[in-house]
Amino acid sequence: MLIGNVPSILASCVKLVSLILKGNKFLGILPSTLSELRGLEELDISMNNFSRRIPDYLESFIFLQKLNISFNDFEGAVPKRGIFTTATAISIEGNKRLCGGIPDLKLRSCQSKGFARKKFTHIMKLVLPSSFGLVCLFLMMYFVYLRCFNKTMKVPSFSFFSQSFAELSYQSLVKATNGFSPANLIGLGSFGSVYKGILDLDQGETLAAVKVLNLQSRGAAKSFIAECKALRSIRHRNLVSVLTACSSVDYKGDDFKALVYEFMVNGSLEEWLHPNEKEDDAHDKSQSLDLLQRLNIAIDVGSAVLYLHHHCSEPIVHCDLKPSNILLDDEMIGRVGDFGLARFLGDATCISSANQSSSIGLRGSSGYAAPEYGMGNEVSTSGDVYSFGILLLEMFTGKRPTDIMFDGGLTLHNIVKMAMVEQVANIGDPTLFQQAVTGETSSSINISQNKSPASIHEVKECLTSILKIGIACSEELPSDRPDIKDIVTQLNVIKNTLLGVGVHGGGRARIAD
């Protein structure tokens, strides 16, 4: 995360053999003093913000065997001598304004300024007169249109988002996130980074989560469009609310796209299920989720999926249900987020019918994606049910589906299924049984007002029922999986049984098979 110009004092390191500055935020030009480093054998300055022309002195580095300048902002002609004569020794991708070089690089040719100027002049002589007339005609029509329809013209960008927020500028997001500071970074995803930010709005300061798309990542632009399209038409208490969006250019003139969400103070479900994996979170998440909290969150997620599948104007498949995409608000209510892979069911079916391989990339995350997606099958609601089943098993066993213990054909689904035959205590999250022994819970209610904390027997019964649902949801064949309607109904029955209020509010309900 180093930033600024490369220190010229590096030139004094005349015996330097390898210089690697990869993945920082250096900017500007490489200092001319670096021409003194003629003993370099490897130079890697990729993934920075260097600009201008590639320094000519690199051609004279006779010992240089590897040069990586990729993903910067270099421009102009690529040199043709020294290391630049061997295409396999250099890496220059991601510099959109480079040209020329040896044929093996397959770059566009660099036209001379004289030729370009002559061509431009000729084109302008042909185009200007007619263009001027068209522009004048367009302006006249535009002003007439404004006079007649002035009251109906005001349609703000991204008007499908929160009515309290106008589309934010790039500069306002830079200010809100302290220049996209690493200290504000709260998450990394497949297509971008999420920063905590404080938006300075007319109604006061608002805490928000800013998802910045990495547009160099393949599929990131499509992810932005998919997420905007999905979020445009959905509203539910168990979905993360998007406040607004930003589609602009950054300080280098490159495309910039971001989505701004309401900030979830309790982070992601993943942080609560696996609190010891990050030392920085240990003091904040020292108390693990109890049985009722996990069950409530499972019902929250199931309710969100039920809404997406059955209560939207057009069914939506999320395609990426996993703990890191489940966020928790200040009341520990589960909210489903990240619709970057979401597809309207009609669109997904249409795409897959035309070309089954086109569904590759919509599968979701390893360990949570339905097995049929790996064979190129169409995206479907049963794929979300599979992911939800794996999520349930992880929530109540504390084991990730991607754990190293699952290899050689052994999966989280299989190991839970085998453990159910013996004893559920062998596979359930140990902290749930410890809480039953000590009587300590994290819930705001103590199971119910008229009931003592759940006993070990009740915890076992509850876990057995929940894990059976998880197993059924994560069956290999889509036809063997239940519908999300039945899943949510069964989870509510289990919750009522645990609370001792029964399905209809009285007595005790039988735990569902």
The reported pLDDT for the residue numbered 192 is 80
The reported pLDDT for the residue numbered 8 is 79
- State yes or no: is 200 an active-site residue: no
What distance in Å separates the CA atoms of residue 280 and residue 65, rounded to the nearest whole number?
41
Structure-token pair, residue 485: 């309607």
SS (H, E, C) 341-403: CCEEHHHHHHHHHHCHHHHCCCCCCCCCCCHHHHHCCCCCHHHHHHHHHHHHHHHHHCCCCCC
Among 73, 290, 300, 320, which one carries the catalytic annotation? Answer: 320
The reported pLDDT for the residue numbered 144 is 59
Among 75-79, 249-253, 446-450, 504-508, the range of highest mean pLDDT: 75-79
**Interval 229-255 mean pLDDT:** 81
Percentage of residues in the chain having pLDDT higher than 90? 21
Nearest to 263 by CA among 328, 326, 325: 328
- The per-residue pLDDT for range 116-149, each reduced to its tens digit, is 555 556 566 666 666 777 777 777 776 655 555 4
Among 14-18, 140-144, 225-229, 447-451, the range of highest mean pLDDT: 14-18
Please compute Rg for the chain using Cα positions. 29
**Interval 437-459 mean pLDDT:** 59
The reported pLDDT for the residue numbered 251 is 80
pLDDT at 377 over 50: yes
Whether 396 contacts 432, CB under 8 Å: yes
Matching residue, tokens 């009722």: 292
Among 82-91, 301-310, 353-362, the range of highest mean pLDDT: 301-310
The reported pLDDT for the residue numbered 272 is 93
The reported pLDDT for the residue numbered 383 is 93
Structure-token pair, residue 437: 């022994």
- The per-residue pLDDT for range 333-370, each reduced to its tens digit, is 999 988 777 777 765 444 333 333 333 344 568 889 99
**Three-state SS for 100?**
strand
As a whole number, the mean pLDDT across the chain is: 78
Q: Regarding predicted confidence, which is higher, 232 or 337?
A: 337
219-233, 432-446, 462-476: least confidently modelled range: 432-446
Among 51-65, 270-284, 383-397, 440-454, the range of highest mean pLDDT: 383-397
Structure-token pair, residue 44: 């890697």
Q: Is the pTM of this model over 0.85?
A: no
Angle formed at CA 268 by CA 263 and CA 273, multiple of 5 degrees: 155
What distance in Å separates the CA atoms of residue 317 and residue 307, rounded to the nearest whole number?
11
pLDDT band, residue 441 (cuts 50/70/90):
low
What distance in Å separates the CA atoms of residue 294 and residue 396, rounded to the nearest whole number?
8
pLDDT at 316 over 60: yes
